[in-house]
Structure 1
């Protein structure tokens, strides 16, 4: 038992496990301790010596499964309400303002059986932040004023997702499950489900739910910061001990997820967007007790394999599917849905039963030949490599993850539990495979043209349920696909990962550049800080022909998709072993990114380049992927209006950025013959920047240099492509677009055509200081919509400040009016900023800008970004921090007033439904 003194009161915490008892990665430099407070709350304390930010997370075993049937969505609503005032801090904006003012962020989510609340903040203010945060859990106000206002936010969130395909499918899933199982409840809530009941106000319902489920013994808390473990223990005791100890109720689910008539069925669902999807679901028992063996994960690994001889390869070569993913699906205390999720081609829609028959054939292969110890051990090697050489997760991600893990795993496994694979338990594997049969299966087919006979009442989805026919059952038994086999041993997992030595003549501080060809600049850094046997290789191709026209850009995107499709099967074993690659067009041409174990990454890069020299494309795959791209692009108008507006803003301002609708039209006009004939012309002019970073030596790059020169020549350097954004004063200051989504949205843009570090600093500070005020006024007070905020957006280092709102409650004209009122009030807002608040914002931003890289990945991204932005001394972030440090409050306010007074440097982008009457 540990005892600490705080304000004259002795606080105690029982140590459950210390750092040496917790299984963690050899690369993890943090120190851990798990304690239990007197009230029964278990706490994970994480000491990170050099952290500038502290994080906290609290998970509680209460989610939407716990909602009363008469108040569905109550757990979610309570999550919202906890942020809106406590006895000590009754101001509804107090917590949010404090976190924002001290360089932090916060969020929460409500799941099926758990909810999670978390924040990050400047570590110097962790104590004060915890004082505000932990009071949510023992003295929330549930003020009537904010109940009424926040109900509108819940309704806005509900309306926001009414067009969301996943949300709509999820609700159909609920409607076709056992109505006595808590999964069937509506999780989000809206004005129809959250309301006063006779003799039971909504306020009282919130209080009752809180009293029933929110207690210390159902909670797990994580505190992470630079404070010592003893100091963190004291913080936990000081701020969490006031939470009441126990709750009366014991939670148990004794109903099955599905009734017998809800299995052995085919479910047809009409989506809003054009989609062709087949989901095969097998109902399994709960898997919480299997985390140490991960049997379903192993089976999913075999079913989802995409290398030679795979089920995916067979179905793709039949031109029936484009994608296959195995193993996902809802999971809980007494249930697990095991899904095989496939995106179908047009041909595949007509061969659904044959696809499922091939799936059953592959399941039988696994049952007979796949449960070999060597296969399981090979999978474990890959997982253990990922664990032993994992990159340190961000504190803001780690804290909420550990809070949930402590609810699920043994205390010593809170880090290792996601990776632990003790061995293949054959009886469990056979039990799960025996569940994979037609009478225990649900087939979900998603397509706009399927006949339906039912309407789900909450989201309005059209669907139909049919029992499987005898003919289907016979088809499932008949298929014996040729060429399908289980994976061979993976050659990429045969060699252990080992660090390479660093010679004295290698660059170890900042990347060094070497002109290896007239049009090839090679940057290299053998990293000595993150001693991991990993590498990142970025290849940036400047290709003037690619970005010259929308037609060329669309063709290049299709070329990249086809190359990835070809390379996926060839390189899938490498993917499993931790080698990953991506290929995509961008404003200057194209980028290839390869990452993974350093002894293979340059070799894989060379393999990819060799394949790109003279690819042979299959005409049917070209048709399938072309159709998929065109469908995705044409559905842009159905996306969230804000997403469409952000995309439209990029098209308006950024050179060589094209509308997805225009790109779809260009692909429509493109023939296979023209594609094959003209694709080589895209690469006739080229210049390349290569950046190799991590545990990689310069000599390992020689084959990559040779492959690049062979393919592209690189004999003549090219003139730089001008990427300066368009000035707003050359564009209309108001642009309105129509979408096929019922919500309205507005983005207001403030631009400066000065790209100095001083100007960027002003914009960053403005965003930091205005964001909580904008949110409080337009979201919390006015309840204009669920999506409300601001963001700083540099375009080629030219600063832009964006204000955005999406609403289902008011139209875009009302949003614009509210935004203009906020901007008109800017002199008052600026005048209210105190010297103390300004200094804190400056300090917070400079800390963020100068914070050390947390991982090899984040450093690679930062250095590559600097290279592409011509910041070749890698100092821009430091120079911005210095500019902020020397900026006076008077200069900041003067420049801010100028920016808001300069109407020519502003733009309003609005989106409204196509049938909206703008003349109202």
Structure 2
């Protein structure tokens, strides 16, 4: 054991379901460490949070903190090779990343637990003695520049830069945090040395022990983790030397001066004065003002911003808990409810956009309907009326009004109950995501409350932070607000269609402006005094719908476990058991799995309603199901209308931990419900019954014009702006999917189908689904729910579904699923398209290699050839990532996004010719999985065809190395990948998702043929992992030659051109000259892709004769097949989410 003296820190408060053990320590040099034993984790993760970010950047070197983050990964004195860290991680099932915010920089990695100690040593040396070589500095700045260019076509990033432009220019928040090659001129020989000197000065100044928090999470004992961490991080030294300004170099002076901008933001630091970045004085006391922005996407947004003091010192007494809950509420009496009923908005959220040590910024985010955009002032007025209502409530409380006091206490108590419940009843997340979040929280909140902060464990009904709530509320007035309108129509209104920057006095605050770093235009304008006066009118309780939320009846009070679970207790170390098939009849199948691993009072239900009618029509002549865009769009619109219509009714359930989603899949409809067990069965049946309700009855109506109008508008705006607002690699994926897996005729046909939908057609479609379809049901019930209760729930599902369906008069059923087309052996297709996003500088190459051998799906369903091929493909994908990243990104600096990954798609075929079906029979199906290797490079450095050349050069080099790969090196990859694949899930929802997916894909094929579930491929992942361990080099070389470089390979290369290198015909002529001997077809239009896909057979693991009964799309696509794989799900979901990019 080490002999370094450490001091103990306050013990970590953890939840009841948290099986981890924690040991917080302070090292003698000042580093804070928390050791975490997670005995169930198969990986060890480590994270370092450093208390410095872009706020400390010198304005003369914007992005320096971010650049320092990049450089730390490129070698140390102890480990000088630039790729040693990533190479070791890649060989041992690891990964890494880092991020820089305004106030902190966070580094993280994870690796298979058996190989953790060496990685920790490499990682620690990044903070002990990084190299920051001159050559690395000159190259890596290109990665920073590429990362910045990737962000320039992102609406969120563009709006962020505009917000910074509105801030006080002397405030640290206004700094440009990413940086680029101009702000960090390290490629310039004359300036490169100065940039490196500034990097070293920045690192010495800020990367000191007292600024670092280290967290390590792994299955090792706490003593072992301490032995690994303490001696290494105790070597981190404070190398900063206090100097007078006269003795500092120019670079040191810049870093020293800029450091004063950064407020101390670590636990134990004294509160800092309120220092808002946004204040009326910056706009010459003209608030409220209107900021108008023009999005690339077809958004229709309204934002209200209120600068407010920091709440960091208040902890769980922060008024934001109550304030955000009330303003963001969606139940009856809320702002959302009132405005949705008036057909003005479709979504609303509220909470702090900024929560810094010296300020906070309250944001209310509203999505408007077309009508709402016209009446945006009324929307704003309703927000202020609600604030006035809350202010009136506070006045009543101050005056002793018992009713209002009781109501606020009741609401606060509900918030406390839900927060405590979630803290105690959530199992730990995976180590890789947990470690950085935990490290950041430890640094800000200290060790004792680092997990529990925000969970209100010590709060009671009587501890309501009324005074703070009242103080913050009093500042939510028009005079302390600026408003952003973000839409193309608002932009036209503000600018009058004239985007020329006027030659006016730069001190003028109003008019058309240009943001400095991205060159994005924005407009500032005053608000008429009469409008502000209207917004300031006192609340009139007799003339409004607004009120405090009703009592939440969905909060779980009974947390008991069913009898079978209570006696077993948590057994997280046990392997995941498959569900049991406990009921099978003409209606469907019931699968049940008692949660004997986590033993939490939670359950999960998925109800798959198999039918071809959601996306297909029955051709009367051929008696075959054929994909139909109109049908698919009707289904997608219908489900979104249903979701919007139930938003108010189910909001209380949502915040109480009951979640639901009804979605369309290639197989039919699927309803997923999850949450606390007490109310889940009843809640699930209620949702299902509402969907199956006859829309002719008053109580069952959810198909209303106001919901349809809002959803159609959202869909059409998403479709119309799709090709103008996305990144190049998104379009590359779209075109590949359009060829391989879409049935669409193109975006124009999708828009046509959407425009044609009206309330009558939607009601007819709904009636057809619930009355004229024969559903085959697969119901999976798991968690804290007994077999008897699962059977009761299944009976309820049967009663609802059969209660509306005329089962004696239904069309014949066919099991449908996704499709994938198969290229012929040796066939290669190259796609070339210009990006229509005018702001996209980057081009892209997306290269897909499709295996000609069907992928492995289970020992009873696949051949040994499929098993070996799938094992080899996955291993190659695992092996190729790091060397490709190192060559194309680190060395050649082709672009920020350089990735290689494994892709698995599916193709479903019927085992029976549809034309022979009678009205009651069901065609069984066979689902074939397909292995693919995909390479993605996003670049503005060279044209896409040159990217393809560089990728091919790398592939040839990699193939040569593969032939002579040492057995030991190959073994490290196969062992690592095998262990990763065997890593157990740590969340009930994740387990249920895996099992539900296998039921959806394979149950008809297996259960339908013999009525037994014994051959279900529950263990296919483990079987594949075992096969990976048994691979030899010959298996890898054969797969590589067949799939990647040989004459039999099948490849699609999708080229998308950005503004830096726009598409030119000469690229094609040059390409044809280089590829005369290969069987390569070049396609440059959607029509040519459609012609090509008509020549391709559907991928199948057997010879079939069947009609086009199946669809669609193999990846997460919103409107299945109607638009192709490129359109991401978030375009059509009720609440948008963003997906981040993998970095280092």
TM-score class, shorter-chain normalisation, is over 0.9
Cα distance in 1 between the residues matched to 2:487 and 2:545 = 30
Classify 1:64/1:722 alpha carbon distance in 2 versus 1 (closer, same or farther; 3 Å). closer
In the alignment, what sits opposite 2:797? Answer: 704
Structure 2 residue matching 1:126: 3-state secondary structure: helix
Match of 1:426 in 2: 466
2:514 corresponds to:
455
| Gap change, CA 1:757 and 1:708, over 3 Å in 2 | farther
Are the equivalent residues in 1 in contact too, given 2:161–2:515 (CA < 8 A)?
Answer: yes
Task: Give the match for residue 377 of structure 1.
Answer: 413
Inter-partner Cα distance in structure 2 for 1:189 and 1:678: 52
Following superposition, the deviation at residue 471 of structure 1 comes to 1.3
Q: For the residues of structure 1 that align with 2:225 and 2:1029, how far apart are their CA atoms?
A: 30
> In the alignment, is the contact (CA less than 8 A) between 2:110 and 2:432 conserved in 1?
yes
Q: CA deviation at 1:476?
A: 0.5
Find the aligned partners of 1:656 and 1:868 in 2 and give their Cα distance.
Answer: 21
Is the CA contact 1:11–1:234 (under 8 Å) kept in the aligned structure 2?
no
Displacement of 1:376: 0.5
Shift of 1:658: 7.9
TM-score (norm 2): 0.77
CA distance in structure 2 between the aligned counterparts of 1:291 and 1:729, rounded to whole angstroms: 63
State the superposition RMSD in angstroms: 2.4
* Aligned position for 2:815: 720
Alpha-carbon offset, residue 810 of structure 1: 2.1
Greater CA deviation, 54-63 or 625-634? Answer: 625-634
| Corresponding residue of 2:207 | 214
**Which residue pairs with 2:689 in the alignment?**
610
How far has the Cα of 1:752 moved from its partner?
1.4
Matching of residues 711-860 of structure 1 within 5 Å: 711-712=804-805, 718-721=813-816, 723-729=818-824, 733-741=829-837, 742=840, 743-753=842-852, 754-755=854-855, 756-796=866-906, 797-860=929-992
Deviation larger for 861-870 or 822-831: 822-831
Instruction: Give the match's secondary structure for 1:23.
Output: coil
State the alpha-carbon separation in 2 of the partners of residues 572 and 713 from structure 1: 33
Name the counterpart of 1:115: 105
Q: In structure 1, what is the Cα distance between the partners aligned to 2:81 and 2:532? A: 62
Deviations 1:357-388 (CA, angstroms, capped at 9, x unpaired): 11111112223337722210111101111111
Q: CA deviation at 1:483?
A: 1.9
Aligned partner of 2:373 among 349, 355, 358: 349
CA distance in 2 between counterparts of 1:620 and 1:775 reads 50
The 1:161/1:658 distance shift into structure 2, 3 A limit, reads: farther
Counterpart-to-counterpart distance in 1, 2:900 and 2:749: 29
Deviations 1:12-50 (A, max 9, x none): 322213xxx321111111100100111100001001123
**Deviation of the 1:92 alpha carbon:** 1.1
Unmatched segments (≥5 aa) in structure 1? none
Counterpart of 1:387 (choices 414, 419, 423) is: 423
- Map of 1:194 onto structure 2: 184
Map 1:213-612 onto structure 2 (within 5 A). Answer: 213-245=206-238, 251-252=262-263, 255-261=275-281, 262=283, 263-369=287-393, 372-420=408-456, 422=459, 423-449=463-489, 450=491, 451-452=494-495, 453-478=512-537, 482-493=544-555, 495-502=557-564, 509-548=577-616, 549-612=628-691
Deviation at 1:93, TM superposition (A): 1.0
Give the Cα–Cα distance (whole angstroms) in 2 for the partners of residues 271 and 817 of structure 1.
35
- Does the aligned pair in 2 maintain the 1:52–1:123 contact within 8 Å? yes
- When residues 424 and 838 of structure 1 are mapped into structure 2, their CA distance, relative to the original with a 3 A threshold, is same
Return closer, same or farther for 1:120/1:918 CA change in 2, 3 Å cut-off.
Answer: farther
Q: Displacement of 1:429 after TM fit? A: 0.9
- Aligned pair in 2 of structure 1 residues 747, 44: CA closer, same or farther (>3 Å)? same
2: CA distance, partners of 1:151 / 1:718: 59
| Whole-angstrom distance in 2 between the partners of 1:662 and 1:833 | 51
CA distance in 2, matches of 1:590, 1:651: 23
Gap change, CA 1:387 and 1:660, over 3 Å in 2? farther
Q: What is the CA distance between 1:515 and its match in structure 2? A: 4.1
CA shift for structure 1 position 864: 1.3
Q: Distance in 2 between matches of 1:792 and 1:527?
A: 31
- Verify: 1:686 aligned to 2:686, yes or no: no
Query: CA offset at residue 198 of structure 1?
Result: 7.1
Equivalent-residue separation in structure 1 for 2:14 and 2:597 (angstroms): 20
Change (3 A) 1:515 1:238: same
TM-score by length of 1: 0.95
Residue 661 of structure 1: how far off its partner (Å): 5.5
State the alpha-carbon separation in 1 of the partners of residues 514 and 898 from structure 2: 32
Q: Secondary structure at the match of 1:107?
A: strand
CA contact (8 A) 1:520 1:714 kept: no
Q: Distance in 2 between matches of 1:375 and 1:620?
A: 31
SS of the aligned residue for 2:296 comes to coil
Distance in 1 separating the partners of 2:567 and 2:613: 39
1047, 1051, 1057: which one aligns with 1:912? 1057
Tell me how many residue pairs correspond in the alignment: 910
CA distance in 2, matches of 1:732, 1:600: 54
Matching residue of 2:740: 653
Q: What does residue 994 of structure 2 align with? A: 862
What is the SS of the residue equivalent to 1:870? helix
CA contact (8 A) 1:517 1:714 kept: no
2: CA distance between counterparts of 1:46 and 1:191? 40
Residues 1:679 and 1:648: Cα distance change in structure 2 (over 3 Å): farther
CA–CA distance in 2 between the matches of 1:517 and 1:362? Answer: 53
Equivalent in the alignment of 2:750: 663
- Deviation, 1:867, is 1.5
Q: Please, which moves more after superposition, 433-442 or 472-481?
A: 472-481
In structure 2, the partner of 1:71 is: 61
Larger radius of gyration: 2
Other structure's SS at 2:523 match:
strand
Supply the distance in 2 between the matched residues of 1:374 and 1:108 (Cα, whole angstroms): 42
Q: CA deviation at 1:139?
A: 0.9
- In 2, are the aligned partners of 1:636 and 1:644 still within 8 Å (CA)? no
Q: How much does 1:896 deviate?
A: 1.8
Between 1:179-188 and 1:535-544, the stretch displaced more is 535-544
Q: Please state whether the residue corresponding to 1:231 is helix, strand or coil.
A: helix
Question: Structure 1's 838 and 346: CA in aligned 2 closer, same or farther, altered over 3 A?
Answer: same
Greater CA deviation, 586-595 or 660-669?
A: 660-669
For residue 343 of structure 1, report the CA deviation from its aligned partner. 0.9
**Matched-pair contact (CA < 8 Å) for 1:587–1:657:** no
Aligned to 1:329, the other structure's residue is in SS state: strand
The SS at the match of 1:411 is: coil
Cα offset, 1:714, TM superposition: 6.7
State the secondary structure of the residue aligned to 1:825: helix
Aligned 8 A contact 1:554 1:664 in 2 = no
Deviation at 1:399, TM superposition (A): 0.5
- Out of 221-230 and 710-719, give the one that drifted further: 710-719
Q: State the alpha-carbon separation in 2 of the partners of residues 140 and 505 from structure 1.
A: 54
Question: Which residue number corresponds to residue 176 of structure 1?
Answer: 166
C-alpha distance in structure 2 between counterparts of 1:65 and 1:362, whole Å: 35
Comparing 817-826 with 766-775, which one deviates more in the overlay? 817-826
Consecutive unaligned residues in structure 2, runs of 5 or more: 243-258, 264-271, 394-403, 496-511, 569-574, 617-627, 696-700, 856-865, 907-928, 1004-1015, 1068-1144
- Residue 641 of structure 1 is matched in structure 2 by 728
Distance 1:841 1:695 in 2: 38
Equivalent position to 1:896, from 1040, 1043, 1048: 1040
Q: Deviations over 1:859-898 (max 9, x none)?
A: 1122112212317241110110121122222222222222
CA distance in 2, matches of 1:840, 1:104: 12
Partners of 1:521 and 1:652 in 2: CA distance:
35
CA distance in 2, matches of 1:258, 1:157: 27
1:806-835 deviation line (CA, Å, top 9, x unaligned): 112222111111112122324313135321
How far does residue 295 in structure 1 lie from its aligned partner after superposition?
A: 1.6
- 1:53 maps to 43
